[in-house]
């Protein structure tokens, strides 16, 4: 393993993402997942005693054990014109029971004078006093030199003097921060090398993504000599986010040959990224490098043809290295080779030039012309293939459904769906309410089937998208495409329906989602294989 250290700030900087609000339980779960991944430092939150969530998290973590990572609390330097003993944040920091303190200090003279409203010498004293106090209480002390690169461009002598003050006080490491995210990779390297010339303390890098350069800047800093990288899973963070560790880590390991994780840990990266997204209640990283579901998905006919001949032709790494998987998307763009490969991957015994394979290809073109889109709905594609060759038996027969929406004088809206179906000749007639017609229909379908298929309780609808298929001039008579994502445990699948009636299109997608989920539950081998 290399001497390069991974520092994750998902629980602090990532929690500042618009739309993210971690509970204490969320933070504990993510901390353990990061620890299992092999992260060296986990920044748990602020040392501010007024932050109740972070205080509760640190209290919980005193009862938890981390196998690999060191827990970090984030703190401001002492306040201007006060001693460390008079500062509640500093006092609380040394009482939290964490082994590491990250003390953030202003390294840009603009911030010292305009934000802290103090003089430059006092800021240097604040840095020295705070680091010395942390060290006296037996903690590992790091300095986050906030706005270092902006400060270095405006007043390089003072920015470096901030680092020298921390070093003189015994700091264990210094992280150089591109807090506004406006620095270019060459400027990052210039700042890192200047810092190396001024202090002997180990240096780290913390890059924000406001110029879409956080990952590039992080790698540039490492090439210039930084030995710690800070970032967040999926790039969460203030404004445009922070350096995405889901991309930084494999780039370090596979491109720069810095072995920061074991091969087994690196193979957990995909699951970790999607797990954190789920806990954060954020969309999964579908198109992110390395860990996105589309990162190794091939659709263009020329690409697919080449990939089927040799996988290195259109992939820069093996997807399994980071826990991802190769996917061949089925569409009229992909060509015959991808379709045949996809059919054969279902292990239904279909030969490449069989009449059944030709019939499926004809059916695919017909359905895609009608507006179906199977490159994002592989579960519906599998069901279509099975039905086309007579290798699928529906789990129920629909006799009819009705959806009603009522609005009273007070503006209250009520939606109810009634459904009649039969399972092996046994009829079921039930009704359910919902927040809208599709939700009500989904609830009624599940209510009717759960008596026959209890495993349906583990399947839930997690996403619903509608798009217009026909040209705008069709207006309300246009066909719509409905994409439904369903999930059971860690596995998710997407299905599609198309019709001029949005309820019918939704029904098609809902039924496919239920049918495919039941197919997996009834086929142990497929269930173990799973899907994404």
CA-closest candidate to residue 394, choices 527, 515, 526, 524: 515
Domain's final residue, options 316, 349, 369:
369
Answer with the one of 245, 280, 315 that is the final residue of a domain.
Answer: 280
User: Looking at the structure, do residues 114 and 223 belong to the same domain, yes or no?
Assistant: yes
Same domain, residue pair 510 and 468:
yes
The CB-based long-range contact list for 51-56 (8 Å cut-off, 24+ gap) reads: 53/22, 53/23, 53/24, 53/27, 54/12, 56/24
Q: In 3-state terms, what secondary structure has residue 212?
A: coil
Give buried/exposed letters for 162-186 (b at 16+ CB in 10 A, else e).
bbbbbbebebbbbbbbbbebebebe
Higher pLDDT, 418 or 477: 418
Residues 352, 402: one domain? no
Q: Residue 528: pLDDT band by 50, 70, 90 thresholds?
A: very low
Domain that holds residue 338: 297-369
**34 found inside a domain:** yes
Closest CA to 210 of 253, 149, 145, 295: 149
Do 100 and 245 have their domain in common?
yes
Per-residue tokens: 26: 């969320």
Which helix (DSSP H) or strand (DSSP E) does residue 431 occupy? strand 426-434
Is 132 contained in some domain? yes
Q: Which of 462, 459, 464, 461 is nearest to 449 (CA)?
A: 459
Strand order, beta sheet including 480-488: 460-468, 480-488, 491-499
pLDDT at residue 525, rounded to an integer: 34
Higher pLDDT, 329 or 424: 424
Residues 120 and 154 in one domain: yes
Residues 426, 456, single domain; the answer is yes
Flag whether pLDDT at 443 surpasses 50.
Answer: yes
386, part of any domain: no
DSSP annotation of 242:
B
Tally: H helices and E strands in the chain: 19, 16
How far apart are the C-alpha atoms of 298 and 156, rounded to whole Å?
48
Q: With contact defined as beta carbons under 8 Å apart, do 4 and 231 qualify?
A: no
Is residue 465 within 8 A of residue 496, CB to CB? The reply is: no
pLDDT score for 523: 43
Residue 165: closest CA among 145, 188, 190, 137: 145
Give me the pLDDT at residue 132, please.
98
Is residue 338 scored above 70 in pLDDT?
no
Helix or strand (DSSP H, E) at 46: strand 41-46
pLDDT (tens digit per residue) in 456-487: 988 888 888 898 886 555 555 688 999 999 98
- 218 near 229, Cβ under 8 Å? yes
For helices 185-198 and 156-168, what crossing angle results, to 10°? Answer: 50
Identify whether residues 84 and 224 lie together within a single domain.
yes
Please, which pLDDT band fits residue 416 given cuts at 50, 70 and 90? very high
> Model confidence over 69-125: pLDDT tens digits?
999 999 999 999 899 999 999 999 999 999 999 999 999 999 999 999 999 999 999
Q: What is the number of structural domains in the chain?
A: 3
**Assigned domain for 341 exists:** yes
H or E stretch covering 386: helix 378-388
Output phi, psi for 57, to 5 deg.
-65, -50
Say if 448 falls within a structural domain: yes
Q: Does a structural domain hold residue 350?
A: yes
The pLDDT value recorded for residue 420 is 96
For 241: left if phi > 0, alpha if psi spans -120 to 50, otherwise beta; the answer is: left
Q: What is the mean pLDDT of residues 164-179?
A: 98
Q: Are residues 432 and 330 in the same domain?
A: no
Q: C-alpha distances in angstroms, 369 versus 206, 331, 366?
A: 49, 10, 5
Tokens for 369? 């012309």
The answer, as to whether pTM is greater than 0.95, is no
Q: Quick one: 307 and 217 in the same domain?
A: no
Asked whether 445 and 419 are in contact (CB, 8 A), the reply is yes
526 pLDDT more than 50: no
Segment holding 529, helix H or strand E: helix 524-529
In 10 A of CB 490, how many CB atoms?
A: 11
Radius of gyration of the chain (CA): 28
Predicted confidence (pLDDT) at residue 489 exceeds the cutoff of 90? no
Asked whether residue 447 is assigned to any structural domain, the reply reads yes
Which pLDDT does position 386 carry in this prediction? 86
Instruction: Indicate which CATH number applies to the domain containing 204.
Output: 3.20.20.70
pLDDT recorded at residue 408: 86
Kindly report the CA angle at 104 between 228 and 256, in degrees rounded to 5? Answer: 15
219 and 123 part of one domain = yes
If one counts every other C-beta atom within 10 angstroms of the C-beta of residue 79, the result is 16
Handedness of CA 229, 234, 238, 239 (dihedral sign): positive
What's the pLDDT score for residue 475? 55
Q: Give the C-alpha distances (Å, rounded to integers) separating 32 from 256, 322, 498.
A: 27, 19, 43
Same-domain status, 431 and 465: yes
> How does the average pLDDT of the chain come out, rounded?
90
Write out pLDDT tens, residues 198-207. Answer: 999 999 999 9
- Tell me: the pLDDT tens digits for 138-160? 999 999 999 999 999 999 999 99
Query: Tokens standing for 443?
Result: 């609830």
Position 316 pLDDT exceeds 60: yes
CATH number assigned to the domain comprising residue 477 = 3.30.160.270
Domain check: are 193 and 261 in the same one?
Answer: yes
What backbone torsions phi and psi does residue 4 show, to the nearest 5 degrees? -80, 130
Task: Report yes or no on 389 lying in a domain.
Answer: no
- How confident is the model at residue 529, as a pLDDT? 36
């Amino acid at each position: 393993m290399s001497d390069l250290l991974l520092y994750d700030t998902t629980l602090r900087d990532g929690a500042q993402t618009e739309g993210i609000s971690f509970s204490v339980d969320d933070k504990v779960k993510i901390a353990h997942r990061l620890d299992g991944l092999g992260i060296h430092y986990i920044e748990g939150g602020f040392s501010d005693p007024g932050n109740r969530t972070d205080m509760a998290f640190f209290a919980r973590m005193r009862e938890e054990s981390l196998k690999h990572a060191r827990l970090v609390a984030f703190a401001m330097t002492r306040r201007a014109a006060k001693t460390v003993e008079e500062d509640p944040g500093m006092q609380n920091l040394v009482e939290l029971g964490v082994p590491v303190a990250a003390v953030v200090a202003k390294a840009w003279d603009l911030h010292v004078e305009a934000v802290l409203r103090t003089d430059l010498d006092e800021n240097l004293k604040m840095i020295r006093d705070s680091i010395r106090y942390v060290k006296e209480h037996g903690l590992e002390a790091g300095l986050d030199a906030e706005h270092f690169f902006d400060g270095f461009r405006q007043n390089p002598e003072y920015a470096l003097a901030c680092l020298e003050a921390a070093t003189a006080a015994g700091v264990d490491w210094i992280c150089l921060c591109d807090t506004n995210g406006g620095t270019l990779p060459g400027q990052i390297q210039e700042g890192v090398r200047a810092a190396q010339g001024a202090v002997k303390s180990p240096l780290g890098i913390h890059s924000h993504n406001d110029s879409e350069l956080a990952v590039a800047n992080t790698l540039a800093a490492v090439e210039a000599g930084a030995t710690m990288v800070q970032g967040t899973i999926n790039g969460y963070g203030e404004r445009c986010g922070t350096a995405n560790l889901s991309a930084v880590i494999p780039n370090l390991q596979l491109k720069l040959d810095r072995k920061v994780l074991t091969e087994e840990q690196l193979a957990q990266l995909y699951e970790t990224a999607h797990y954190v997204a789920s806990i954060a209640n954020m969309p999964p990283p579908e198109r992110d490098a390395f860990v996105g579901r589309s990162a190794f998905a091939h659709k263009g006919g020329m690409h697919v043809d080449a990939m089927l001949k040799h996988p290195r032709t259109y992939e820069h790494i093996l997807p399994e290295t980071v826990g991802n998987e190769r996917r061949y998307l089925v569409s009229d763009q992909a060509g015959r080779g991808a379709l045949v490969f996809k059919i054969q991957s279902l292990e239904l015994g279909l030969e490449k030039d069989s009449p059944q394979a030709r019939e499926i290809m004809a059916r695919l073109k017909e359905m895609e012309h009608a507006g179906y889109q199977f490159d994002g709905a592989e579960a519906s594609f599998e069901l279509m293939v099975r039905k086309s060759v007579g290798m699928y038996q529906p789990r129920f027969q629909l006799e009819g459904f009705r959806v009603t929406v009522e609005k009273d004088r007070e503006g209250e809206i009520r939606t109810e769906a009634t459904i009649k179906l039969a399972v092996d000749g046994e009829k079921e007639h039930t009704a359910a309410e919902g927040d809208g017609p599709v939700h009500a229909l989904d609830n009624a379908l599940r209510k009717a089937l759960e008596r026959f298929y209890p495993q349906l309780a583990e399947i839930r609808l997690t996403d619903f998208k509608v798009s217009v298929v026909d040209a705008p001039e069709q207006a309300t008579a246009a066909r719509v495409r409905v994409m439904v994502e369903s999930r059971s445990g860690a596995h998710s699948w997407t299905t599609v329906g198309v019709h001029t009636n949005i309820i019918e299109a939704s029904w098609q997608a809902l039924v496919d989602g239920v049918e495919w989920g039941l197919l997996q539950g009834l086929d142990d081998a497929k269930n173990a294989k799973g899907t994404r």
